[in-house]
Amino acid sequence: MPFVNTGAATLHYEETGTGDAVVLVPGTGAAGRTWRLHQVPALVAAGYRAITVDNRGVPPSDPAGPGLTVADLVADTAGLVERLAGGPCRLVGSSMGAHIVQELLLTRPDLATQAVLMGSRGRPDAFSRALAAAERSLHDEHVQVPAGYDATMRALRNLSPRTLQDDQAVQDWLDIFEMSAPDVTDRGVRAQLDVDMRTDRLGAYRRISTPTLVLSFADDLVAPAARGRELAAAIPGARYTEIRDAGHYGYLEQPDAVNAAMLRFFAGQAA
C-alpha cells in the first residue's frame, strides 16, 4: 500500500500506467478508488500515468481534524505532485477535488500543465450554502438516518432523471449507496465538510493561466451547469463542456462522455 509524505500529511495513493502523469483528486469524503472504475482505465489506455489520491481525512491517509481548510488540501496536493509527478502535470478534480485544483492553479501554477474541473463552481449560492449547512448539522448532531433513506436521498441529489427512470440502474445505485452510507461520527468527513466554497472566487479565478476544461453535468443539483458556465467564463481561455443525462456523479454515470471530453482536451483536440 503506497504512501507519500507531502510535508504536512501522509497520503495514500495508487498509480497505474506510464507516460505523462495525471493526478485525480476526489470530492468530499470520497476515496481515490472512485476514479479507478472508469477514468483510470481510459487514461492508461491513452498512454497516461494515472495517480489517484485519498485526501487527508479519508483512510488510510492521515486523519483530518477541525479547522481543515482548502489551503491545507491544496498544499497536500502540491506536495504529492512534486514528489510523485516530479514536476508540472495534468490535474483532474471533481466537486471538492475541483475546488482544490482551481485554488492550486492560483497558488502553484507551476505544478499544472492542464486542468479539468468537474462538477464545480466559482461562487456559492443559496442552495449550496443550505446544503453544506445541513450536512454539517447532521454530523454535529450525530443524526444517523436509516441507510435506505440516505441511499434514496443521495440518488435524488446526485443522479440524473434518466438514470432514475431506469429500474435496474436505480436499484444498482441504491444498493451501492446503502452499502456506503456515511458515518456521521467520521471526523475526517466532518472536517472536509468545512472545505466548502463560502465566498465568491470568480474574480480571483480570472488570474488562472493554466489551460482549463470546465466539465459540468446538465442535471447536477449540487453544482448546477449554470455555475459551471460562470466558472468557465471567469477563467481566461477555459473550455466548457456540458454532459447530458448526468447528475453530480456524472463521471460515474456517463463515464464514456466524460472520458472522451477529458482526453480530447488533453490531446489539444477541438471539443
Q: Which residues pair with 90 in a beta bridge?
A: 22, 114
Planar angle of CA 217, 219, 222, nearest 5 degrees:
80
Q: How far apart are CA 79 and CA 74, in angstroms?
A: 9
Q: How far apart are CA 161 and CA 146, in angstroms?
A: 23
> Of 258, 14, 234, which is closest to residue 266 (Cα–Cα)?
258
89-94, strands of its sheet edge to edge: 3-5, 10-16, 49-53, 21-25, 89-94, 112-118, 212-217, 239-243
Q: How far apart are CA 118 and CA 150, in angstroms?
A: 24
Q: How far apart are CA 125 and CA 227, in angstroms?
A: 9
Q: How many residues does the chain have?
A: 271
Cis peptide before 60 (omega within 30 of 0): yes
Instruction: Please list the active-site residues.
Output: 95, 220, 248
